[in-house]
Amino acid sequence: MTEGNFVDYVKMHVSSGNGGKGSSHLNREKYNAKGGPDGGDGGRGGHVIIRGNENLWTLLHLKFKRHIRAGHGEHGSSARSTGADGQDEYLDVPLGTVVRDTESNEILFEITENGQEKIIAKGGKGGRGNWHFKSSTNQTPRYAQPGIPLEEKHITLELKVLADVGLVGFPNAGKSTLLSVMTSAKPKIADYEFTTLKPNLGIVKYREFKSFVMADIPGIIEGAAEGKGLGYYFLRHIERNSILLFLVPADADDIVKQYEVLLDELRRYNPEMLDKERFLLVSKSDLLDEELKAEMKVELDKDLNIDYMFMSSVAHQGIQELKDKLWKMLNS
């Protein structure tokens, strides 16, 4: 899927249907001069329902749907005939979609399972017909209930990609290259910063037909909290990941400092993200000879408090070892 087709944020206005009016009809049949009240109930207004669909992974299909309106309930009629219910409107969304009230920014609910349905705008209840109100002292009621009005609200749909492993790193650290080597994904790769402008997903194939999902997001730079680079906009896509895989290139001036800067940016975005399992990957290690690599290991062992490994996506060095390590972490 191209970058322009990945949509993870949509605002829209939804309105359910009005409930139908109850009927105040009085029976007027031949040979039944005073048949009495027989007005039927009004039909229910249609709901607006949000439904999870595992075959979707973007909100592209909703990008240009700004107004969603369910059908109105039909009015009741004679012979106690109930009006037809209004047609429900279904909005299929990918798993991991968060639904917010746009005006209050309150999270209403979240869709995490295939086929899960939540009513976002409830249809109005149909009014009762006049036959409900007849009694010994009111044998000919000439009134009925109106239907309950529709509900309407402005909502925001936010997609948080569901993946097992999230790649975190500065621009040009080799995240997209790693994703292209470990999976069948084909992200845009070039030798300039911010090549990746939208998240990319790939399925990593493991031994015995097992697999896990890896997500690549645009690069983070120091000061993202102040809006530098692409800011924090895409960090929500790694909130659900079980493992955060940090990538720092072997030719970086200070590997430990770059890792700490990335960690600090995540802390400023959401401190809970630091509770996730973390692993550091020193990428582009084909630039190093064994002697230089040994020297760097001594320094990293002294200054780092997490596991790390050297690898190269281009030279395919350490790919299987990385898969083994990630699978072990996911299933520990």
| pLDDT tens-digit readout, 129-152 | 999 999 889 888 999 999 999 999
Q: What are the φ and ψ backbone dihedral angles of 211, each rounded to 5 degrees?
A: -160, 165
Q: What is the mean pLDDT of the chain?
A: 86
147 marked as binding residue: no
| pLDDT tens-digit readout, 20-45 | 999 999 988 888 777 889 999 999 99
| pLDDT tens-digit readout, 52-70 | 999 988 898 998 899 999 9
Q: Are the beta carbons of 276 and 244 closer than 8 angstroms?
A: yes
Q: Are the beta carbons of 269 and 232 closer than 8 angstroms?
A: yes
52 and 201 together in one domain: no
Distance CA 300, CA 294 (A): 10
Q: Are the beta carbons of 2 and 55 closer than 8 angstroms?
A: no
332 marked as binding residue: no
Q: Are the beta carbons of 170 and 22 closer than 8 angstroms?
A: no
33 marked as binding residue: no
Q: What angle do CA 176, 241, 199 make, to 5 degrees?
A: 35
- 85 CB-near residues (< 8 Å, 6+ apart): 43, 44, 45, 46, 73, 74, 123, 126
144 and 216 together in one domain: no
15 marked as binding residue: no
13 and 156 together in one domain: yes
16 marked as binding residue: no
* Number of domains within the chain: 2
238 and 184 together in one domain: yes
- 27 CB-near residues (< 8 Å, 6+ apart): 35, 36, 37, 38, 78, 79
CATH code for the domain of 142: 2.70.210.12
Domain of residue 239: give its range. Answer: 165-331
Quote the pTM value: 0.75
Tell me which residue has tokens 């530098």. 228
Domain C-terminal end among 161, 178, 196: 161
Residue 224: pLDDT band with limits 50, 70, 90: low
State the average pLDDT over residues 93-106: 92
State the average pLDDT over residues 97-108: 93
pLDDT at 270 over 70: yes
Distance CA 167, CA 217 (A): 7
Tokens matching residue 80: 């106690």
85 and 134 together in one domain: yes
219 marked as binding residue: yes
95 and 170 together in one domain: no
Distance CA 163, CA 23 (A): 54
Residue 2: pLDDT band with limits 50, 70, 90: very low
174 marked as binding residue: yes
State the average pLDDT over residues 262-279: 86
155 marked as binding residue: no
Inter-CA distances, 130 with 8, 33, 74, 187, Å:
49, 18, 16, 65
How many CA atoms are closer than 13 Å to the CA of 160, on its beta-carbon side? 14
149 and 215 together in one domain: no
pLDDT at 196 over 70: no
195 marked as binding residue: yes
Domain C-terminal end among 116, 141, 161: 161
pLDDT at 1 over 50: no
The dihedral sign for the CA sequence 300, 303, 308, 314: negative
Distance CA 109, CA 100 (A): 7
As to burial, measured by CB atoms within 10 angstroms (0-12 exposed, 13-18 middle, 19+ buried), residue 145 is buried
Q: Which helix (H) or strand (E) holds 277?
A: strand 277-283
SS3 of 245, please? strand
78 marked as binding residue: no
**Per-residue model confidence (pLDDT) at position 177:** 87
180 and 287 together in one domain: yes
**Per-residue model confidence (pLDDT) at position 227:** 65
Distance CA 167, CA 245 (A): 5
Domain C-terminal end among 93, 128, 161: 161
Length of the chain measured in residues: 332
289 marked as binding residue: no
313 marked as binding residue: yes
130 marked as binding residue: no
82 marked as binding residue: no
25 and 44 together in one domain: yes
Distance CA 161, CA 175 (A): 17
214 and 78 together in one domain: no
State the average pLDDT over residues 162-181: 85
Residue 73: pLDDT band with limits 50, 70, 90: very high
**Per-residue model confidence (pLDDT) at position 191:** 66
Distance CA 285, CA 280 (A): 13
| pLDDT tens-digit readout, 290-310 | 888 888 888 888 888 888 888
172 and 303 together in one domain: yes
75 and 195 together in one domain: no
CATH code for the domain of 285: 3.40.50.300
Tell me which residue has tokens 């869709």. 111
